[in-house]
Amino acid sequence: MNWLLRISNTHREIAIKELESLIGAKTSVQWIMPLLVRIDAEKGDIDKIIDKMASLKWVIQNPLLVSPSDFFSLQSDKIAHQIPPTGTDTFAARFNQIMVNIPELSKSKTERFVGGLILDCFPSLQVSLDNPNSVYRVCYFIDCYVMGWTYAEQTFQRIEESSPKMSPFFGGGAMKPMLTKILVNLLYPLHPIVLDPFCGHGGFMRGIASAGSFAIGIEVSMKIARECKVNNQYHQVEQTQIIIGDALHQPFRRASIPEIISDPPYAKQSTTIGRDREDLIERWLNSSDQERVLITLPKDMVFEINNNWKLEYEIDDFVHKSLTRVVRKLVRLK
C-alpha cells in the first residue's frame, strides 16, 4: 500500500532520522520534499509509525500528485480509486500550502472544486465543514499538489501534556516534549532498560518509560532527584528508578545496560559538582560501557570522542540565537 507522510518542520533534520529509525531499512522510502515522504508499506507498519512517531503530522493513503497546470482540469475519475475511510458519511475538503505562500491560490475555490469531484465519485457523501467524519486533504507544495483522504492526523496535544512546564518541577531550558520523544525514538527499538546518567527532572526518563522501556536515571543533586521522583509520580510513570549518585561511578554490572539517552549538564544553573563540563563529558564517555549512546549538547561545547566510539551522526538543532544543540548518536567500536 502507498502512503504519504507529512513530517513536522520543527526539528526537521532530526525528524527525518526519527522516521528512518522507526521504519527500518526494509521499507522503501521516497522523499518528495524535505517534509513529505512516500512509503510503500503494510497498514500494520504505518499504524506502528502513527502510534510512535513524535514528529508526524498526518498521513494520506493512496496519495495523488498533480502538477499545477493540470489541477483545475482534473476529472473525478482520477480520484475514484481513493476510497473514503470506513464509516465516512460526511467530509470536508481542506486546502493548505506548505513551505510556500502564493496568494493567488484560493483556498475556497480549491476546496469547492475538490469537494465537487468527491461528490461526483461518491454521491452518497455529504459535505460538513464544521464536523466532518473524514477530511480530504489537498496541499500545495513547491510546484505540486498532493491530495487524498486523511488516514491519521496528530494534534500534538498528547505530547504537549508531558511538557516540562506541566510538571511540578522543571529546570530552565528544559527540552520540549516533542524533541524528547523524537530523541528516544532515535534508539528504536529500545532495550528493555535504558539509562539517563544525568537525569535532572526526568524528561528522558518519562520519554523512555512511555516508549515501553524501564528508565534508570542517575542524578547527583539530592534535591533534583527528589523533584524528579515527584514529577514521575505526578505523570503516573511507574517504570522508573532514580539513583542519587555520580555518572562517573555507575553502580551497575559491566555492560548490563547497553543504551543511554541523555542531556548532560551544560547550563550555568546545572551543577557539575565543581567539574569542568567538557572534561566531565570526556571522562564519562571514557568510562561508559554502553553499546549505543544518544546525547545532546550545545554546539559550542567542544570535547573529544575517544576511539572506543564511532560517531554515527550529528545533527544541529537550533533552539534560539544563543543555543544550538547538537544531537549525537555514538556506537561502541570495541
Ligand X SMILES: C[S@@+](CC[C@H](N)C(=O)[O-])C[C@H]1O[C@@H](n2cnc3c(N)ncnc32)[C@H](O)[C@@H]1O
Binding site for ligand X (CB under 6 A): 171, 174, 197-198, 200-204, 218-221, 224, 246-248, 263-265, 270-273
Nearer to ligand X, 61 or 270 (CB): 270
CB of 52 to ligand X, least distance (A): 20
Q: How far apart are CA 112 and CA 89, in angstroms?
A: 18
Please identify which residue in the block is written with the cell numbers 520519554. Answer: 207
Least Å from the CB of residue 326 to ligand X: 14
Three-state SS for 205? Answer: helix
**Phi, psi torsion values for 298, nearest 5 degrees:** -60, 150
Closest distance to ligand X from the beta carbon of 297 (Å): 9
Choice between 120 and 279, CB closer to ligand X: 279
Minimum distance, C-beta of residue 209 to ligand X, in the bound complex (Å): 13
Nearer to ligand X, 246 or 282 (CB): 246
Per-residue CA distances from 253 to 84, 257, 288, 291 (Å): 55, 8, 12, 14
Output the smallest distance, CB 290 to ligand X, in A. 15
Task: Output 118 or 220, the one with its CB closest to ligand X.
Answer: 220
> Based on CB atoms, which residue is closest to ligand X, 66 or 209?
209
Cell 570526556 identifies what position? 282
| Residue 9 or 241 having the CB closest to ligand X | 241
Beta-carbon contacts of 100 under 8 Å, excluding residues fewer than 6 positions away, are 140, 141, 142
CB of residue 333 to ligand X, shortest distance in Å: 24
Question: Which residue, 99 or 273, is less far from ligand X as judged by CB?
Answer: 273
CB of 202 to ligand X, least distance (A): 6
* DSSP tag of 130: S
Q: d(Cα 179, Cα 202) in Å, to the nearest integer?
A: 14
* Cell 461528490 found at: 119
Distance of CA 11 to the CA centre of its chain: 8
**Calpha distance 252→236 (Å, rounded):** 26
Closest CA to 136 of 158, 156, 120, 160: 120
Half-sphere exposure of 31 (CA within 13 A, CB side): 11
